[in-house]
Amino acid sequence: MLHSIAVEAAAKILHSLDDLWEEDNSQAGFDPLPPLAPHEKKTSPPKHICSTSTPCPIHLSDVGKCYHSFPKGTFKARFSLPILPKFVLKHYAANPPVWTWSIKDGPNKGKSFQVPTIPVASSKLAPKAVQWIAVVFHSFKAHLSPIAIDTETGRVHQAWLHLYQNNMYIHLQAQLKVSCKVSTQHSSPPPPIKGNTSVPVDGPSPFSNIIAELRAKIALLCEKLYNLAVSHKACCLFHSNPPPSPPLGVIPKEGSTHPTPSPPPLPFLLLKASQNGIAPDPHPPSWLTTALSIEDIPSAFKGTLYSPSSVTLSTPLPQGTISTIKLAFEGSTPFYLGVLPRGFLEVAPMADRSLVAKAYRFPPDSTIPMARQK
C-alpha cells in the first residue's frame, strides 16, 4: 500500500517538473525542436532494359560497356557464344581487337580513334585466331532468322551485326580475365612448409615432364587437325598413295618392286543415268563426295547411290524421303541432302526439321548447288 502511494507521488512530481521546464523554455524564447527529417535514400539510375522487338542501338563509344540481349525471333535455332581456345585467347591478349576510326571533317580532322570490335571476315593469310573468330561469326549467321538478314544483299543487318560484335567483345574480355586469373594462380609458388625443412618446396613435380609432353602432343594434333580442315585434304578421296620407299640402309634387289597399296574402299558408289544406261558417275561434285565420306553419316547414305539430278535448289524434298541430313559449307547458305527410295539423291533448300537426322559443317566449296534465280 505504502509502495503504490510513493510511486503515484513520484509520478506527479515528474509531471509537474516537465510542465515547469516547458513553461520556462517558452518564456525564454526557445523554439521547440523541429521533428527529425526522414532519411533520404539515394536513388540509383534505372537499369537498361533491352527491347524484345528491336535491337538496341549501340554507338562507337558504348561498345563493350553493356551486354545486350537479342530481340525475340532473332534465331531460328539456339545459338550460344563458344568457349574460346587457348590459342585465340593468347593472340588477342597480345593483339586486342580494335578498329581504327579516322575523322575526315570538322575540328578534329585527321585524328584517329581506336574502337573495340570483333572481326567478321578474314583472308587466308590472316592469323589462325582471326580465322577462327570469323568462322564463329558464320556459325552465328547460319542460326539467324530472315528478319536479321537483308534479302537483297544476303548480309546481316547492321543493328544485329553491332549487337553481335558488342556481345562477342564482352565475351572475349571475360574469357581473357578468367585465363589471366588461372595463369597467375598456376604461376604463383606454393607456400613454404613450416616445421619440415627436408622437403624441397621449389623442386619440380615428378609428373611435370609427362604433363608438358602431353600438352605438346595435344597442341601438335590440334594444329594438324586445323590444317587438314582448312586445306580440305581430309575430303580428297580420289588420289593414290605413293609407293613406300625402302628402309634406310637396305638396297633393293634387281627386279624387285614394292607393291603400291590400294586406297581404302569408299563407303559409297555413285551412279548416273545417261543415254547408254546407268554407269558410275565419272565426275561427282566435290561437295557430294565430301559429305558422303563422313564416318558417322546415316547408313542410308552408304552403298550404291544415284547422283542428284538437279544442281540447283528450287523445291523442297519430296514426301517419302528415307533419310535427310543438313549440310552447311562455310560462307554459303545451308541446304539439305535426302535419300529417296532405290538410292536416288536429291538436294533442296528446305526440309522438315523433324526428319533431319544430323547436321554437318564443312570448309568452303565452290561446287555446292545454288538457289535457282527467279
Which residues touch 367 (CB under 8 Å, ≥6 apart)?
Answer: 285, 286, 287
pLDDT of 201 strictly over 60: no
Residue 332's nearest CA partner among 292, 358, 366, 356 is 366
User: Residue 161 is which amino acid?
Assistant: L
pLDDT tens digits for 32-71? 556 655 655 666 667 778 888 888 888 877 888 888 889 9
- Residue 75 DSSP code: B
- Residue 144 DSSP code: B
pLDDT of 256 strictly over 80: no
Exposure of 363 by Cβ count < 10 A (0-12 exposed, 13-18 middle, 19+ buried)? middle
Place of cell 543415268: 273
Which residues touch 315 (CB under 8 Å, ≥6 apart)?
Answer: 348
Among 15-29, 92-106, 154-168, 326-340, the least confident range: 15-29
Distance of CA 140 to the CA centre of its chain: 7
pTM above 0.75, yes or no: no
- Rounded to whole angstroms, the Cα distance separating 361 from 145 reads 18
Q: Decide: 143 and 78 in contact? Cβ < 8 Å.
A: yes
Which residues touch 235 (CB under 8 Å, ≥6 apart)?
Answer: 286, 289, 290, 293, 362, 363
pLDDT tens digits for 133-165? 989 988 888 889 999 999 888 899 989 899 898
